[in-house]
Amino acid sequence: MKLDKILSENNKYLIQNYQRFPIEMVKGDGSYVWDSKGKKYLDFISGIAVNNLGHNNKKVNKAILSQVSKMLHISNLFVIKEQVNYAKELCKNKAGYKAFFCNSGTEANEAAFKLARRWGLLNGEKSKIVSFSGAFHGRTFGSLSATSPKKYRYGFYPLTPGFKSVPFNDVDKLEALVKKDKKIAAIIVEPIQGEAGVKFSSKNFLKKVESICRIYNILFIVDEVQVGIGRTGKTFCHEHYNISPDVITLAKALGGGLPCGAMLVNPKFSDFLTPGSHGTTMGGNPLSMAAGIASFKQISKRTFLESVEKKGNFFLRKLQKIENNSMIKEVRGLGLILAIEFNSDAVARKFCSYCLKKGLLVILTEKYNVRILPPLNVKIKEIDEAMKIFLDALEQIYD
Ligand SMILES: Cc1ncc(COP(=O)(O)O)c(C=O)c1O
């Protein structure tokens, strides 16, 4: 089918809830993808932090093909060996933690909120959940109620009751709230707010949130849906901050490219979801598990994570060289989640359009931030290739 026809049928048959590029991507290999007209792109979006090993990873493909010939789905009525294996891998350095598998990030957070309420019921009848300004935790009703920007919430009121929001990185406001309101069951935080434009929590902030949770007996949930699974140069992003969350939520890269989400739970809380209290039909299906394990085993190797850190530092140093450009406000990054913050929306848009024209995929996020998410096995020469396009773009769009 010709691209024009696909585009018109896309509009005719699909609900128009996405603003899609009018491009059909048909093939990927490593850090590159090709569209239906044969144009090659350097993919520094990675399926929005999903394809952490790039496209067409041999070990992931092999694991998928081997699982396909055995079984795709059986349901959680039965024991699933692949789930056990993956949980064991994920919790290897987290003694006693247990996993629950689902299909997406929003579902992982819903599970965490339900756990918080079950636990809270028996612990002072607490049910409220606190999140932060700028936060993005998903689009189902519970997660949406913890997601702060109005643009995601508009038209969907009333949201789930019992959710409160506090300014990001504001410990005083958080402490004032939990002192006053004794019904807070959980606090959920992203270590780095990806959708908000790669906004970092300060090191002290997460440590203080943790200590508030300990003092006031509140469940500490860290949402690593975007920044987990090696993205920042550690298996889990919270490892940078010397904290120990009670619940870690994961998705995106967790399934090695297939749909998969999870929450990992500290042993103190892991028995509160009893049989029948929560579940999913497809979550943790053998196929997603097989792909996820094959991907996670490669990513979680110490040498691999060290290479992510090195390449991230290399990329950030290169970006810092353009930071004094008058159109740029700031550049930021940790591992291979990076951002260029521009001074205006128009400039950020022109920058992204130029990159796209030159065959480089990056995402425009909140407040003029261009988010850069290369595959974690990106090559140094590919980072150089992207930097060259960035430099050209800055020259071309300067006015
Ligand atoms: C931090 C964070 N949490 C949750 C989600 C929701 O994940 P999903 O789109 O898989 O439901 C996202 C998605 O971007 C995210 O970045």
Q: What is the mean pLDDT of residues 193-221?
A: 96
Where are the chain's structural domains? 3-57+303-397, 71-299
Residue showing tokens 């920044």: 227
Mean pLDDT of the chain: 97
Q: Is the CB of 193 under 6 A from ligand 1?
A: no
* CB of 47 closer than 8 Å to CB of 56: no
Share of the chain above pLDDT 70, in %: 100
The predicted-structure confidence for 220-272, as pLDDT tens digits, reads as follows 999 999 999 999 999 999 999 999 999 999 999 999 999 999 999 999 999 99
Q: Cα torsion for 324, 231, 54, 255, to the nearest 10°?
A: -150
Confidence of residue 287 (pLDDT cuts 50, 70, 90): very high
Residue 197 confidence (pLDDT) above 70: yes
What DSSP designation does 224 have? Answer: -
The SS3 call for residue 277 is coil
Q: What is the mean pLDDT of residues 37-53?
A: 98
Residue 80 confidence (pLDDT) above 90: yes
Q: What is the mean pLDDT of residues 169-178?
A: 98
Q: What is the mean pLDDT of residues 129-133?
A: 98
Q: Is the CB of 106 under 6 A from ligand 1?
A: yes
pLDDT of residue 398: 80
pLDDT of residue 39: 98
Confidence of residue 19 (pLDDT cuts 50, 70, 90): very high
Q: What is the mean pLDDT of residues 121-137?
A: 97
In order of 165, 176, 227, the CA distances from 208 in angstroms are 17, 13, 20
The predicted-structure confidence for 253-267, as pLDDT tens digits, reads as follows 999 999 999 999 999
User: Ligand 1: which of 109, 199, 226 to mutate, most ligand atoms within 8 Å of CB?
Assistant: 226
249: its two tokens: 């939520």
Residue 326 confidence (pLDDT) above 70: yes
pLDDT of residue 203: 73
Query: Whole-angstrom Cα distance, residue 1 to residue 156?
Result: 37
User: Ligand 1: which of 103, 106, 131, 232 to mutate, most ligand atoms within 8 Å of CB?
Assistant: 106
360: its two tokens: 């480089």
The SS3 call for residue 249 is strand
Ligand 1 centre from 225 Cα, in Å? Answer: 6
Q: What is the mean pLDDT of residues 45-69?
A: 98
Confidence of residue 367 (pLDDT cuts 50, 70, 90): confident
Residue bearing the CA closest to ligand 1, atom 9: 105
Residue 345 confidence (pLDDT) above 70: yes
The pTM of this model reads 0.98
Ligand 1 centre from 142 Cα, in Å? Answer: 13
Residue 18 confidence (pLDDT) above 70: yes
CA-based end-to-end distance of the chain: 40
Closest ligand 1 atom number to CA of residue 138: 6
Ligand 1 centre from 41 Cα, in Å? Answer: 25
What residues are labeled active site?
136, 223, 252
Closest ligand 1 atom number to CA of residue 224: 1
Which CATH number is correct for 71-299, 3.40.640.10, 3.40.50.1100, 3.40.50.1820, 3.40.50.300?
Answer: 3.40.640.10
Superfamily of 3-57+303-397 according to CATH: Aspartate Aminotransferase, domain 1 (3.90.1150.10)
Asked if residue 22 has a cis previous peptide bond (ω within 30° of 0), the answer is: no
Residue 307 confidence (pLDDT) above 80: yes
Q: Is the CB of 104 under 6 A from ligand 1?
A: yes
Ligand 1 centre from 285 Cα, in Å? Answer: 20
Residue 399 confidence (pLDDT) above 70: no
pLDDT of residue 356: 98
Closest ligand 1 atom number to CA of residue 252: 10
